[in-house]
Chain A
Amino acid sequence: MEHTEHLEHTEAPADMKKQIWRTFWILFALTIVDIALYFILSPSLPKNILFIVLGIVKAYFIVGIFMHMKFEKKFLSSMIVLPMLFICFFIWLALTEADYTYWLRWLFGK
C-alpha cells in the first residue's frame, strides 16, 4: 500500500539555494566584523551595544532565512518573536538590580 501524507507548508522561494549562500556570507562577514571591532575599539558601553545589535542582526538572518521564518505566516512569526519582548524587560530588570549590587560590593567589599 502506498503510504503518503499530504502536508501543509509554506512554499520556499525558487532561489532558496542562492539565498542560503548569501545568508552564509552575511553571517561570516558579520562575525569577522565582530572580531575586528573587538580589537579596534576600546571597551565601552556603545561598543557593547554595537555587539548586541550585530548579534540581533545575525539572529534575524538565522531565524528568517535558515529557519524559514521570513516565509511563514505573520501570525506564526509574531507568536514566536513577540514573547521575546519579555526578555528585554527582564534584561532591564536584571541590570538595574546588578547596578545596585555593584554599589553594595563597593560599599562592603567583595
Chain B
Amino acid sequence: MSNTVTVETSKKSLWGGGRSPFSISYGKLMMWIFLLSDAFTFSSLLISYGFVRYSFPKSPPNEIVQPFTHVEENFVEQMQQQGLFSSEHWPLPELVFNHFPFIHGLNLPLMFVSLMTFILIFSSVTMVLAVEAGHRMAKKEVAFYMLLTIFGGAAFLGCQAWEWAQFITAGASLEGNPFGPTAFAALFFIVTGFHGSHVFSGVILNIVIYLNVLKGTYDKRGHYEMVEKVGLYWHFVDLVWVFVFTFYYLV
C-alpha cells in the first residue's frame, strides 16, 4: 500500500523521472548545452581579440576622410602616409571597412557590414517564422520560410566572401596587414572565418531540414521539432554576429 503511494509521488515530482524536468525534449536540451559550449568558444576568441586590441595604442582621430566622398586607388598608401594606418596602433574600422560592391571609389564606411547584419537578422526572422508555422503543422509555410532562410544564409556567405576578397587584395593575411598590426588581420580572418564556417554548416543543416520538410518526414512524425532545433543553432549564429559586429566594426 505505502509502496504505491511512493511511486505516485515520484511520478508527480519534477526530478522523479519519467518526464523532462525542463519541459523540453532531450534533443533540444542538448542543443542548448552545445550552444553554451559554443558560446564559450566564441567568447574566448572575442576576448583574445579584446586583449590584443587593448594592448595596442588607439588610432589618432580621422579628420581627413569624410563619408560619401571620393576614394583614390592608393587609399591605403595615403592612409599610411597620414599615419592613420600603422603597425604601431589599431586602425579605425571606418577607414578599413569602407567598400561596397558595385560602388567603386566611394567612401562608404560600415555600410556593407550593416547590410550583412540586416541580412542575418532577417534570415533569423524567417527561421523563427518557419518554427512558428511548424507549431501549426503548416507544411507549405515551413518550406517557404526555410527556403528564405537558406537564401539569407547564402547571401550572407556571399557578402563575407566578397569582404574577405577585398581584404586579401589589399594585402592582408595571417602574416601581414597594411591597415595596422598583423594581429588585426589575423584575428579578423580567424573570428569571421570561424563564424562563417558556422553559417556555412547552418546553411547545410537548413537545406537538409528543408528537403525533409518537402519529403513530409516531419508531417509523418507528427511534429516539426527538428526545425526548432536547427532554428536554435541558426539564431545562435545571428547572436554571435551581433557581437562580432559590435567588437570588430563599432568599438
Contacts and interface: CB of A to CB of B under 8 A. Distances in A.
Interface of A: 3-5, 7-10, 12, 16-17, 20-21, 23-24, 27-28, 31, 34-35, 38-39, 42-43, 48, 51-52, 54-55, 58-59, 62-63, 65-68, 72-73, 75-76, 79-80, 83-84, 87, 90-91, 94-95, 97-99, 101-102, 105-106, 110
18 contacts: A4-B221, A4-B222, A7-B25, A8-B20, A16-B132, A31-B245, A51-B246, A51-B251, A52-B246, A58-B242, A66-B238, A73-B21, A87-B40, A90-B44, A94-B51, A98-B50, A98-B53, A105-B56
Nearest to B133: A17
A77 B219 CA distance: 29
Interface in B113-142: 114, 117-118, 121-122, 124-125, 127-129, 132, 135
B207 interface: no
Contacts of A38: 94, 110, 250
B151 to A, nearest CB: 17
Given A12-B132, A24-B125, A59-B239, A43 B61 contact: yes
B235 A67 contact: yes
Contact of A39 (B67, B118, B121, B223): B67
Contact of A10 (B24, B122, B124, B235): B24
Contacts of A102: 54-57
A97 to B, nearest CB: 7
Interface of B: 19-25, 28-29, 32, 35-36, 39-40, 43-44, 47-48, 50-59, 61, 67, 87-88, 92, 94, 109-110, 114, 117-118, 121-122, 124-125, 127-129, 132, 135, 220-223, 225, 228, 231-232, 235-236, 238-239, 242-243, 245-246, 250-251
A8 B132 contact: no
Contact of A5 (B57, B88, B221): B221
Nearest to A83: B36
Interface hub of A7, A66, A79, A87 (most chain B Cβ within 10 A): A66
Contacts of A42: 61
Majority-rule SS of B interface residues: helix
Given A20-B132, A73-B23, 4 more contacts: A8-B24, A17-B129, A95-B54, A97-B51
A12 B251 CA distance: 36
Contacts of A39: 67, 94, 109
B43 A87 contact: yes
Contact of B251 (A9, A16, A48): A48
B223 A7 contact: yes
B47 to A, nearest CB: 5
Contacts of B19: 8
A80 B25 CA distance: 16
Nearest to B54: A98
Contacts of A59: 239, 242-243
